[in-house]
Structure 1
Amino acid sequence: MKRFAVIGLGKFGFFVAKTLYEDGNEIIAIDVDRNRVQAIKAFCSEAIVMDATENEPLKSLGLEIMDGVIVSTGINISISILISLHLHEIGVKKILAKALDEDHAKILSKVGATEIIHPEKDMAVRVARGLSMANILDFIPLEEDYNLVQVGPPSAFIGKSLKDLNLRAKYKVYVIAVKELVSENFILVPPANFVIKESDILMMLGKSKDIERIEELK
């Protein structure tokens, strides 16, 4: 279990906190608005009404031991900049801050944010990539040009085992899980003798260019 704090509980912050909590993580949710804090209480470990621009109250929370702090405050950019600066001074190692534009992003990076979130831009890229790779049902960006994707099996794969296909050697991709839609089973690290069915969804890990080679087989 990891521990995160989310500062700013608008729509973006609310759903980040809720999703992280539902995934089994410990979540501290913080906002200056009591109504927003009340709304998140069922979806976090601790909900706190606090003005996070004030350094001393923020320091009292022990956020430096968290696995990450997400700053998702609203349209007043000075607030997110000040909070990010305070978190950096406290010693928080991973600060993920939501930026409204590129200039805002540059300032956030300079005051200590370790990762910048562009919600609209990131979603636009994800949708565009999903559309341009028609057989890919879901797209999850990873580091170093590696992607984790869910792919419907090409017709050439159906009825064959993973051993027969030898995807690791031929395409440099790894099948790390399979969703069986008919039986609703989820098989993590399927055995070599697993035979692929038309209704299966393959979760593959590999470089973009290698996954695209699989897509071209459709």
Structure 2
Amino acid sequence: MKRVVVIGLGIFGFNIAKDLYENGFEVLAIDKDKEVVQKIRDHSTKAILADGTDKEVMESIGIQENDVVIVSFGEDLAAATLLTLHLKEMRVKRIIVKAPDEDHKHVLEKVGATDVIIPEKEMADKVARGLISPNVLDYIPLSEDYTICELVPPADFMGKAIGELHLRTKYHIEVIAVREVLPDRIRMVPRADFIIKDSDVLVVIGKEEDIQKVR
């Protein structure tokens, strides 16, 4: 079982701790607000009232023995930076830090964060993508250029074989899986003669601007 520590239980930290716990993770939740710690007790493996920036306290808790530490201090860059430095010194394997913007992200990466997320930006990007490409259900950015996403096939794809569509030539994208609703199953790396049904969802990889052309 993966062990995760969430330090800072604002809206983001509280919900990620709760979601991970409900999905089988061993979650240690830490905050210096007594009321919040009381609320998270039923939604975590263990909840501790403590100042996350206190290195001695974090070492005594055994933070370094966990697989992942998530830092969620809102816009308090000083606290997030200090804690990230401490975690790096404690040799924590993976340090995920919430940041309010790109400037803070760069600072946190320089001091040792392995992953920095900007929830507001990611949500804005997701909403924008939903409006730009309404047939894109979900996406996972792999790099600045490439993305994996779930794609509702356009009407002119229905009843045709994947190979017949020449997706690599026409759109520069590749179908790596098909999520079939009827029957409920995932077909990995479908054959060129796989016929697309109106209940199928295509999992494709490619550049974002190329995926957006599939309408």
Q: Same fold by TM (over 0.5)? A: yes
Structure 1, unaligned runs of 5 or more: none
Q: CA deviation at 1:208?
A: 2.4
Q: CA deviation at 1:68?
A: 2.3
How far apart are the structure 2 equivalents of 1:100 and 1:165?
A: 42
Q: CA deviation at 1:154?
A: 1.8
Structure 2, unaligned runs of 5 or more: none
* 1:115-141 deviation line (CA, Å, top 9, x unaligned): 222221222122222322232122322
Q: Could you say which residue in structure 2 is the equivalent of 1:176?
A: 177
CA contact (8 A) 1:173 1:211 kept: no
The aligned amino acid for 2:26 is E
* 1:91-119 deviation line (CA, Å, top 9, x unaligned): 11322222234443343233322322222
CA contact (8 A) 1:178 1:190 kept: no
Larger mean Cα displacement after TM superposition, 155-164 or 10-19: 155-164
CA contact (8 A) 2:18 2:44 kept: yes
CA contact (8 A) 2:173 2:204 kept: no
CA contact (8 A) 2:148 2:204 kept: yes
Q: Could you say which residue in structure 2 is the equivalent of 1:124?
A: 124
Q: Could you say which residue in structure 1 is the equivalent of 2:15?
A: 15
Q: 1:106 to 1:176 in 2, by over 3 A?
A: same
Q: CA deviation at 1:172?
A: 4.0
The aligned amino acid for 1:41 is R
How far apart are the structure 1 equivalents of 2:75 and 2:163?
A: 53
How far apart are the structure 2 equivalents of 1:207 and 1:51?
A: 43
Q: CA deviation at 1:43?
A: 2.9
TM-score (normalizing by structure 2): 0.82
Question: Identity across aligned pairs (percent)?
Answer: 46
* 1:157-210 deviation line (CA, Å, top 9, x unaligned): 212344655656774412324141xx4724252753653221322222333244
CA contact (8 A) 2:175 2:189 kept: no
Aligned length: 213
Which runs of structure 2 are paired with 1:1-218 in the superposition (5 Å)? 1-143=1-143, 145-162=145-162, 165=165, 167=167, 171-180=172-181, 183=182, 185-189=184-188, 191-192=190-191, 194-213=194-213, 215=214, 218=215
How far apart are the structure 2 equivalents of 1:77 and 1:93?
A: 21
Larger mean Cα displacement after TM superposition, 49-58 or 96-105: 96-105
The aligned amino acid for 1:52 is G
Q: 1:126 to 1:163 in 2, by over 3 A?
A: same
How far apart are the structure 2 equivalents of 1:43 and 1:164?
A: 50
TM-score (normalizing by structure 1): 0.81
